[in-house]
Structure 1
Amino acid sequence: MNTETTKTNVQRVALLGLGNMGAPMARRLLAAGYGLTVWNRTASKAEALVAEGAVAAATPAEAVREADVVITMLADPAAALAVADAMVPALRAGTTWIDTSTVGPDTVRELASRLPDGVAFIDAPVMGSVDRAATGELLILAGGETASVDGLLAELGSVTRCGEVGTGAALKLVLISAVIGGVALVAESLRLATALGLPASLTRSALAASPMEPLVGRAFATEAHFPVELAAKDVALATGVGGLPVLEAVREVLVGRGDLAGADLSSLRD
């Protein structure tokens, strides 16, 4: 199905959650010509998008009532479940709900179990920070059938089809845990080098020339914004599976850096 056909079928999109990721995703959809209704718990965050052509809703139910596609981008399982409680009764048959939050497969399956008849569900967490959200270069990890919304998803990034509902959420935990753990390891390697008296520039260039190069790039990123507190939440979702002592140690490091809670993951170098 091509983008133009999909856009014709999808007349109006509702996007709930206008945080660091949700807002640039909303702008991508506005720029692509989709009719967009937005909702955020802090209503003032919708003002800039309204000025750009979106319609603000007062409640999640109001946002989704006329939508063909609903996208949620929420901080954690508690937020996703609370918004679901408010909006699910207003979903109409024929709507597709795409959850792009990182909430883990258990929560995804709980969300899917609440759907009324005739509503499709796709779990589609994303890899990439605000910079990639703004340029439509996210990696979208999709669990469920995406054919009816391929054109819309293409405005946000590239899709990896993972299988049934819940598999996107599962793969996201695998990938994000590897990235977070890798950045934490780079940060410790830099501290080790300092303790051994090595110049910072030498250490960085040597690490960048090693197999760690992509993680070194993320550790020194300046345009991304993935708060340490959200990284801790993601790793906690992964360690809930059990038997992951290295990730448990990473989680303890992240939780212990409360001073960096709102700072980007790269601040672990500090």
Structure 2
Amino acid sequence: MKKIAFLGLGRMGLPMARRLAAAGHPLTVWNRSPGRADGLVEAATPAAAVRGADVVVTMLSDPQAVADVAGRFVPELAPGTLWIDMSSIGPDATAGLRAGLPDGVGLVDAPVVGSVGPAATGDLVVFAGGTDADLDVAQPVLELLGRVRRCGGPGSGAALKVVVIGAIVASVTVVAEVLSVAEELGVPQELAQGVLAAGPLAGVVARALSTDADFPVRLAAKDLALAGGGPVLSAARAVLLADPSIADRDLSAVVGSLRRG
């Protein structure tokens, strides 16, 4: 079993780390705010966490967080170590991380689609990019966390995540707005939701009305920013940022926010 260091025990990271430990991997964890290890072996620093690890997994909030933490552990990575970054940071930031690696250290970008429930049950969708050799090493670890789609070379997983999450978040925002329009026009919400759910938007409507997902609006807005400044995604991001009261609530909160507005 590979010795793994897992850095980032947030909403998604902690259940993912638990799965790796439950599979029998020797695991050391680290989190910016200590005390979240929940019985796992916790290191005091990122550098201490990665020493002697075969695989390092990071699950952090944004490009700046990954860059900051990487600066604290990358110098400790020995040749032959594989770093799997599962954060959603986009291909440009991923390329910057790769450029700063010591000789002999590999990097796989493997962001995920899914929420806290799938993270706990191993049902995430994992978009993995890297060299074939690095992906071969990463595959058994990633398969403990979800269904792995090998996307191609370095940065390809990070790029596909930007595409997919942009479509999901913008579509949920559109559904939220049309439900607000329905209310203004006197169309009963149950009727509007039922008709929309019976058509090609069924999956989007289900996500917009979800009561068990946990993907904070602030992170959804961050992911839209990674896609650049296109007019539709920029407009959706502006909608998400317009109501600070929902920043830490799940994306579905935008439905109620627009109806109140």
Give SS of 1:43's match. Answer: coil
The Cα offsets for residues 172-205 of structure 1, whole Å up to 9 and x where unpaired, read as 0000000000100111111111111111111111
User: Structure 2 matches for 1:97-176, cutoff 5 A?
Assistant: 97-144=83-130, 145=132, 146-176=135-165
- CA distance, structure 2, for counterparts of residue 251 and residue 181 of structure 1: 8
Matched with 1:5 is none
Matched with 1:76 is 62
Deviation of the 1:149 alpha carbon: 2.4
Q: Which runs of 4+ in 1 moved over 6 A?
A: none
Match for 1:205 among 194, 204, 209?
Answer: 194
RMSD value over aligned CA atoms? Answer: 0.9
1:42 aligns with 2:42: no
- CA distance, structure 1, for counterparts of residue 215 and residue 243 of structure 2: 14
- CA distance, structure 2, for counterparts of residue 257 and residue 171 of structure 1: 28
The Cα offsets for residues 107-162 of structure 1, whole Å up to 9 and x where unpaired, read as 00000111111111000010111111111011111111311122111100011111
Percentage of identical aligned residues: 53
Give SS of 1:45's match. Answer: coil
Instruction: Please list every run of 5 or more consecutive structure 2 residues that lacks an aligned counterpart in the other structure.
Output: 257-261
The Cα offsets for residues 27-73 of structure 1, whole Å up to 9 and x where unpaired, read as 11111111110000000112x1xx2xx21000000000111100000
Deviation of the 1:233 alpha carbon: 0.6
1:67 aligns with 2:53: yes
Q: Give the total of aligned pairs.
A: 253
- CA distance, structure 1, for counterparts of residue 93 and residue 251 of structure 2: 24
Deviation of the 1:223 alpha carbon: 1.6
Q: TM-score, normalised by structure 1?
A: 0.92
Q: TM-score, normalised by structure 2?
A: 0.95
Amino acid at match of 1:69: V
- CA distance, structure 1, for counterparts of residue 212 and residue 26 of structure 2: 28
Amino acid at match of 1:127: V
Instruction: Please list every run of 5 or more consecutive structure 1 residues that lacks an aligned counterpart in the other structure.
Output: 1-7
- CA distance, structure 1, for counterparts of residue 34 and residue 253 of structure 2: 29
- CA distance, structure 2, for counterparts of residue 199 and residue 265 of structure 1: 22
Give SS of 1:30's match. Answer: helix
1:23 aligns with 2:19: no
Deviation of the 1:164 alpha carbon: 1.1
- CA distance, structure 2, for counterparts of residue 150 and residue 170 of structure 1: 19
1:227 aligns with 2:216: yes
Deviation of the 1:224 alpha carbon: 1.1
Amino acid at match of 2:94: V
1:181 aligns with 2:189: no
- CA distance, structure 1, for counterparts of residue 50 and residue 23 of structure 2: 20
